Amino acid sequence: MTEAARLNILRTESSLRPLLERNFDFSPRPAQAKSSLFHLADDASFELIGSDASGGEFVLCASGQLPRRPLLFVSSEGQAGVIGRNLEEGLSTIIAIPFWMDCLKFSGGGQLVEMRRVIPLSEAEMLEDSPRFDSSRQVLKTRLELQPLIDPVQTLHKAVTELSPLFPAYGSDGSQFRTLFNTFTVMSNPQWRRKLSNSE
């Protein structure tokens, strides 16, 4: 499926919107939607395709030397980074690990091993809150024709690490947005720390 076809499905198929918003914190934005949150270096072009509940934005950047347009996420709290080499990879990551932001927040400054520790803890919480979210995941993967990622966490880590420096985002005051990696670890979360301590 082409990028244009996926974008059209995201934007026009109303049955997918509640699935995306409820379980994956992705709200599709219409074509021609504009951003006032940030700009790219040299005012490079980008296309706003979605937002999250806190006002963060998902955009496709001009590809430059890359084969296809990468998916960049810009948070409303001054962080930004590429989360997929292209639209398909970015959407596949979001749908495979809906708690991808937790993986980055509790990564200990970008440690892949720490990101992996987040997976069972966040997934258990998500299943408790939304026991049917996996069925939503399957519907989206099928309708958007998304190929499964061999290692979604490693794919996310690689995109943020290797591609983000190529697409720096800036606020209206000219300050550069920070990396999506945060310095917290799993043990920084009190609930997770208790759960891990009880399992020992």
pLDDT digits (tens, 9 = 90+) for 29-69: 999 889 989 999 888 899 999 999 999 999 999 877 788 89
- CA distances to 24, 42, 119, 152 from 10, in Å: 13, 29, 26, 21
* Distance separating alpha carbons of residues 75 and 68, to the nearest angstrom: 22
Could you tell me where the beta strands, DSSP code E, fall in the chain?
Answer: 27-28, 39-40, 46-51, 57-61, 71-74, 80-84, 169-170
* Distance separating alpha carbons of residues 51 and 35, to the nearest angstrom: 10
Which pLDDT score is estimated for 65? 75
Which pLDDT score is estimated for 133? 81
Cα 33–165–103 angle (5° rounding)? 80
Token pair, residue 106, equals: 């509790």
| pLDDT tens per residue across all 200 residues of the chain | 999 999 999 999 999 999 999 999 999 999 988 998 999 988 889 999 999 999 999 999 987 778 889 999 999 999 999 999 999 999 999 999 999 999 999 999 999 999 999 999 999 888 887 777 888 899 999 999 999 999 999 999 999 999 999 999 999 999 999 999 999 999 998 888 888 877 65
